[in-house]
Structure 1
Amino acid sequence: MTDPRSFLYRDTLDPDNALRVTADVLAKADDGELFLQYRRAEAFGFDDGRLKTASYDTNAGFGLRAVSGEMTAFAHANELSEAAIRRAGETMALIDPSGATRAAPPARTNHRLYTDADPLDLIPFADKVNLCQTIDAAARARDPRVAQVSVSLSGTWSVVEVVRPDGFVATDVRPLVRLNVSIVAEANGRRETGTFGIGGRYLYDRLFEPATWNRAIDEALAQALVNLESVAAPAGEMTVLLGPGWPGVLLHEAIGHGLEGDFNRKGTSAFSGRIGEQVAARGLTVVDDGAIADRRGSLTIDDEGTPTRETILIEDGFLKGYMQDRLNARLMGVEPTGNGRRESYAHAPMPRMTNTFMKGGQDDPAELLSRVKKGIFAKSFGGGQVDIVSGKFVFSCTEAYLIEDGRLGAPIKGATLIGDGPSVLTRVQGIGNDMALDEGIGVCGKGGQSVPAGVGQPTLLVGGLTVGGTAAG
């Protein structure tokens, strides 16, 4: 196998040059790094029974950052050469030294959470197209009500290296694959959609297993057929039972961003200055863990070179800590948590979530359902909007059901959940023993940057959530 670093060091740049130039241009800084990246990506879109799109691209470049106090200087280029790095270093010279002690380098790690292998090279182009075609045909054969099938398959392979002026160097090789199936079912003049996606930091072979792609078809079709039977959603304040796994996206958005270090250092989060306070119902524990093998949101090291780990954010209802990059951790007098992330070499790092989830509790999910006299069960979510400062959110349900006298009733369409993260945490009335992580499709946006992320939770009983619907409550 070709050394992955050879994609970073070619032409005029070699590892010794990179170390020397980084030490030169960041000599005045308290902290900072040279971030090198090579990335290749491909995507296939199969729609209406034929291949509609196929794309492939590669890019490479560096980001150079100097930090002094609260000030950051950042420059980037899509040229991996010593000359280009020195030109970028002219920007670094504009910051004034703070006089503070230079920040210590990150700890080193030998753990590896995923393979170095490149998923794109291991399976021929024709086989990837054939998989999409096979899924399309199998989905159409499942049920006569299937009117349309869309299949997308994508993969990326990225090599990154963090080079610091103190001589610290850390390399990470990151695979990522994803399969999505969307099915439109039609009956009696009505059309409804169901979707399912799966992925992670592994190779395509997992997605090519018949058990995997058949499950994707079954789940997408089941959701579409359920939605064909759906009735208008009620509106008003009611008890909501959230399913395990992907509904953790509500937790991610409604409170996760509010627990990132930058918002708390600046005092703009609803959780600012509340370490040690009870912020949630007892029994509720939320963590961010970037060190779970093969997960979409996992990283062996973050984009500053810090090893990832489990960070306890809320424990038994009490706020324990925030997710930190190096800059905010230093200014807040705490340790970095391995949450310094960037979309690419062209972006500066900031505190970001990896895999953020609520741990399981003691309650039987069936017993939680039996407690609900009248409410809704939200099994899956689509898009949502959140105000990070207040934690206010609006989420649309893609699969949800009425609950009447402790039993699931008719599926409902058009339900939205409205509330704010901090108060939702205090309204949790039951925590299931069935914690599940999502299937590996999450994308998180912040400050104009998108990164892969994971979510998860157990079945959760929440009292008094506002449901926006299309029928009177």
Structure 2
Amino acid sequence: MTIPTDPRSLLYRADQLDPETAKALARETLSRCDDGELFLQFTASESFAFDDGRLRSADYSREAGFGLRGVSGETTGFAHANEISAAAIRRAGETLSLLDTTKSPLAPAPAATNRHLYTDASPLDGVEFARKVALLEKIDAAARARDPRVKQVTASLAGSWSVVEIVRPDGFVATDVRPLVRLNVAIVAESNGRRETGSFGMGGRRLYDEVMDEASWNRAIDEALRQALTNLESVPAPAGVCPVLLGPGWCGVLLHEAVGHGLEGDFNRKGTSAFSGRIGERVAAPGVTVVDDGSITDRRGSLTIDDEGTPTRENVLIEDGILKGYIHDRLNARLMGVEPTGNGRRQSYAHAPMPRMTNTFMRSGKDDPAELMGRMKDGIYATSFGGGQVDIVSGKFVFSCTEAYKVENGKVVAPIKGATLIGDGPTALTKVIGIGNDMALDEGIGTCGKGGQSVPAGVGQPSLLIEGLTVGGTG
């Protein structure tokens, strides 16, 4: 795909819609609403999967459309179409006439910003097809050459490039161009009739150059192989209540799921979160500071502006164990009498925005990670999670460990298999007894689901020692 000099030309065509007409239509269709916007989007995406020694799939798609949203009080009217034209937008505006509106002053527009957190260039356009396929072939061959126990290799590469424009009835217009890439490697190793899997991925809002760099993809192979070979040596996980040390980085997915969703504004406005009405109260152990920050350069969960046009920012949600605030889209912020925090997100033009996390993490503490492990006489050290289930309202969770170890007298004694961590986020926060000085963000592979929508997200944390989590095991 050849990228035009002006990406907005992918949204506007002279025979369908121009920028001035878009502003006029937003003003016309949303004139009786408290808030709302016309959201225009063009997206090009591709994915490649190399499995079992051959290219299994190579997909490419382009899509464009709009979403028209009007808000009146707590009620939202929303219509969308995969055709960006004045006629289609007018038809969508008829849906909003069904809103029961009592005209209030239009909510103020977001603040404008001219910052750029990532490149405008398209990753899809920068590397030719043959090089992408050749990379996956190299990964497959290199992984198999690493160790004779490697029996299967799966490598995948994915990228997207999206142009969005938010047009409000007050004339406010904001545009963002969003790249996203991801590389994943999974390895199955076999020894003595036993097979185990290891995986590793990386990505972010950048071009392919970084993930296609030889050092990067070799690191992905090394980590996936290390995990697979470690799991080959694993013993059945013990069951019971014990201290758990969580490793830095990706283990923050537990914090994201078990705590982060409970800090989103919609649940708290409705009073259905375990954190509802608790601003200013202690909700976590001293030293626990939780942040959501969508303004970190090049991160997978970052956005220059959210999907309502609000600039993203650092939001301190819990500070030294005290609940300081929630994350908000415009609707929930207005109804709760606070400012939007830059967390109004949507999967695509076909979805209405809702409050969602961006990059959510716990800040570093002062403890030496080795000293934290040394405190455990009998416990579990978890470094990577796979699937899990979470009740967003209560924060109750069940997470399976894809890499974990049995610890005795402060030392790792064996990798374990089949361990699950069981608990609830609000209680787990109060049981934190050690916070490492090694905070790390994940490698850029997270995807968050809520209300039927999926969006890219980042997680992170330092090493974290939690007293008395329930471990479900197989031994």
Q: TM-score range by the shorter chain?
A: over 0.9
SS at match of 2:151: strand
Rounded to whole Å, the distance in 1 between the matches of 2:89 and 2:260 is: 35
SS at match of 1:403: strand
Matches within 5 A, 1:32-43: 32-43=36-47
Cα offset, 1:441, TM superposition: 0.3
The match for 1:114 is 118
Rounded to whole Å, the distance in 1 between the matches of 2:145 and 2:137 is: 12
Rounded to whole Å, the distance in 1 between the matches of 2:209 and 2:201 is: 16
2:290 counterpart of 1:291: no
What residue identity is the alignment partner of 2:141?
Answer: A
Rounded to whole Å, the distance in 1 between the matches of 2:175 and 2:386 is: 35
Cα offset, 1:208, TM superposition: 1.3
The match for 1:443 is 447
2:250 counterpart of 1:246: yes
The match for 2:223 is 219
The match for 2:474 is 470
The match for 1:7 is 10
Matches within 5 A, 1:58-97: 58-97=62-101
The one of 158, 161, 166 equivalent to 1:162 is 166
What residue identity is the alignment partner of 1:6?
Answer: S
Cα offset, 1:95, TM superposition: 1.1
2:340 counterpart of 1:329: no
The one of 304, 321, 324 equivalent to 1:317 is 321
List per-residue Cα deviations over 1:336-372 (Å, max 9, x = no partner).
0000000000000000000000000000000001000
SS at match of 1:276: coil
Matches within 5 A, 1:369-408: 369-408=373-412
8 Å Cα contact 1:28/1:96 also seen in 2: no
The match for 2:266 is 262
8 Å Cα contact 2:33/2:106 also seen in 1: yes
Rounded to whole Å, the distance in 2 between the matches of 1:54 and 1:99 is: 50
What residue identity is the alignment partner of 2:175?
Answer: T
SS at match of 2:138: helix
Cα offset, 1:100, TM superposition: 2.4
Rounded to whole Å, the distance in 2 between the matches of 1:123 and 1:316 is: 46
2:285 counterpart of 1:308: no
What residue identity is the alignment partner of 2:188?
Answer: V
The match for 2:358 is 354
What residue identity is the alignment partner of 1:419?
Answer: G
Q: Unmatched 5+ residue regions in structure 2?
A: none
The one of 420, 423, 435 equivalent to 1:419 is 423
The match for 1:173 is 177
SS at match of 2:383: strand
Rounded to whole Å, the distance in 2 between the matches of 1:428 and 1:418 is: 15
Rounded to whole Å, the distance in 2 between the matches of 1:175 and 1:464 is: 42
Return 326-335 or 89-98, whichever deviates more.
89-98
Cα offset, 1:101, TM superposition: 1.9
Cα offset, 1:320, TM superposition: 0.2
Rounded to whole Å, the distance in 2 between the matches of 1:258 and 1:50 is: 43
The match for 1:196 is 200
Rounded to whole Å, the distance in 2 between the matches of 1:126 and 1:235 is: 49
8 Å Cα contact 2:33/2:104 also seen in 1: no
SS at match of 2:273: coil
Cα offset, 1:97, TM superposition: 2.3
Cα offset, 1:9, TM superposition: 0.3
Rounded to whole Å, the distance in 2 between the matches of 1:320 and 1:158 is: 34
Rounded to whole Å, the distance in 1 between the matches of 2:191 and 2:259 is: 40
Q: Unmatched 5+ residue regions in structure 1?
A: none
Cα offset, 1:251, TM superposition: 0.2
What residue identity is the alignment partner of 2:6?
Answer: D
Rounded to whole Å, the distance in 1 between the matches of 2:157 and 2:464 is: 32
Cα offset, 1:317, TM superposition: 0.1
Cα offset, 1:273, TM superposition: 0.3
The match for 1:282 is 286
Cα offset, 1:103, TM superposition: 0.2
Rounded to whole Å, the distance in 2 between the matches of 1:296 and 1:328 is: 25
Rounded to whole Å, the distance in 2 between the matches of 1:310 and 1:207 is: 27
Rounded to whole Å, the distance in 1 between the matches of 2:331 and 2:51 is: 45
Rounded to whole Å, the distance in 1 between the matches of 2:416 and 2:258 is: 23
Structure-1-length-normalised TM-score: 0.99
2:461 counterpart of 1:457: yes
Cα offset, 1:146, TM superposition: 0.4
Cα offset, 1:256, TM superposition: 0.4
Count, aligned residues: 471
2:147 counterpart of 1:143: yes
How large is the Cα RMSD of the aligned pairs?
0.6
Rounded to whole Å, the distance in 1 between the matches of 2:450 and 2:75 is: 20
8 Å Cα contact 2:32/2:103 also seen in 1: no
Cα offset, 1:151, TM superposition: 0.2
The match for 1:47 is 51
Rounded to whole Å, the distance in 1 between the matches of 2:392 and 2:25 is: 39
Cα offset, 1:247, TM superposition: 0.2
8 Å Cα contact 2:241/2:468 also seen in 1: yes
Cα offset, 1:43, TM superposition: 0.3
Cα offset, 1:374, TM superposition: 0.4
The match for 1:30 is 34
Rounded to whole Å, the distance in 2 between the matches of 1:240 and 1:12 is: 59
Rounded to whole Å, the distance in 1 between the matches of 2:116 and 2:324 is: 27
Cα offset, 1:110, TM superposition: 1.2
Structure 1 segments (4+ residues) deviating >3 Å? none
8 Å Cα contact 2:283/2:430 also seen in 1: yes
Rounded to whole Å, the distance in 1 between the matches of 2:103 and 2:185 is: 55
